Amino acid sequence: MSQKTNTYNLSCRLLDSQSMLDNMFDGCESIARSCDVFCNRGFTYGLFDGEKCWGFIGVVPLWQGVADVWGILDAKSFKYPLYLRRQSMNMIDEATKKYQLHRLQSSSSIFDYHHASWMEWLGFEMECISKQYTSDKQDFARYALTIKDDLCHS
């Protein structure tokens, strides 16, 4: 899944931490300090329209068989929902095989309706709400996708 394109000039590219920094868009500058974690402990894909990045999606393994799925998307992502879903599913399939995952999880603010929709659209289920999860006491929702044993290592 190094680079795939379609007739709309959309592409999905595997990024290293410097490439991720070089392609930051409005609203994602706050994650700059985490680029090394996102790219070196796991992997990150940039979603592009031509040369303009409109989103990052990635997977970071936590421990054997378990990984976090994350995404940072700008408003343009809502213009290409099917492309976003296809690339997200490709990424999940790749991560499941590469890291022999049986569980993927993701967390976000309970007020992040876009994240909730994205997770549910990918087949994740909300597991719980963690009360006062952040330093500013914001509640977070946790989503999880468990992989059946026969699919984990195929």
State pLDDT tens for residues 97-142. Answer: 999 999 999 998 999 888 888 899 899 999 999 999 988 999 999 9
State mean pLDDT over 22-49.
74
Residue 152 in this model has a pLDDT that exceeds 50: no
pTM (2 d.p.): 0.79
CB atoms inside a 10 Å sphere around CB 141 = 20
Residues 6+ apart with CB under 8 A from 7: none
Question: Domains (ranges, CATH) in the chain?
Answer: 3-152 (3.40.630.30)
Q: What 3-state DSSP class applies to 10?
A: strand
Residues 6+ apart with CB under 8 A from 50: 9
